[in-house]
Amino acid sequence: MKRLIQFITIATLAYGMAGCAAKKELMITYGSNHNIESQIISVGKDGTKMIKAWAFAKNPELAFMYAKRNAVSAAIFKGFPAGGGSGMVGAIVRNPNADTEHKAFFDEFFKDDGKWAQYVVSKNVGMPSGNDRLKVGKGYKVGASVAVKFDALRKYLEDSNIAKKLDEGF
């Protein structure tokens, strides 16, 4: 009987831990677009968009990197609402199923040392602080102010046949 109670306790704890781990993983995947908080800060110069994006992670450094990646992800899949003196910016990829249809491409593109990093430049000097670095539960929520090289990113995705060109078909 004692062994049975021990087994049930261990199994319950293991299940709970596995659940927590899976939840953390979900927060950082590029595909979970509903998670991304991002907005236009101001109008960028030729070909760039000035964006502020947020991300969660167990430490601020990791959250900062995820926030930068989220800015690129939002530019590709979600676009940005009007704000900061700019009109609305639509998603580069207009096909809502593009992330699953081109999963292999995006898995490679968004891996930690993937090409996404070429298309984002941080405007923060060092790590964000104050209201841009919040302690939430056991982790951190960090907001990164970045310049996304929007036109270069769009061109790369168009050349890779992921995004549709404006003059496609003509």
Site of interaction with another protein (CB under 8 A): 42-46, 79, 82, 84-90, 94, 150-151, 164-170
| Least CB distance to another protein at residue 162 (A) | 15
Residue whose CB is less far from another protein, 142 or 157? 157
Residue whose CB is less far from another protein, 63 or 71? 71
| Least CB distance to another protein at residue 166 (A) | 4
Q: How far apart are CA 116 and CA 11, in angstroms?
A: 40
| Least CB distance to another protein at residue 79 (A) | 8
DSSP state letters, 38-87: EEEEE--STT-EEEEEEEEESSHHHHHHHHHHHHHHHHHHT-B-SBTTB-
Residue whose CB is less far from another protein, 115 or 164? 164
Residue 20: other Cβ atoms inside 10 A: 10
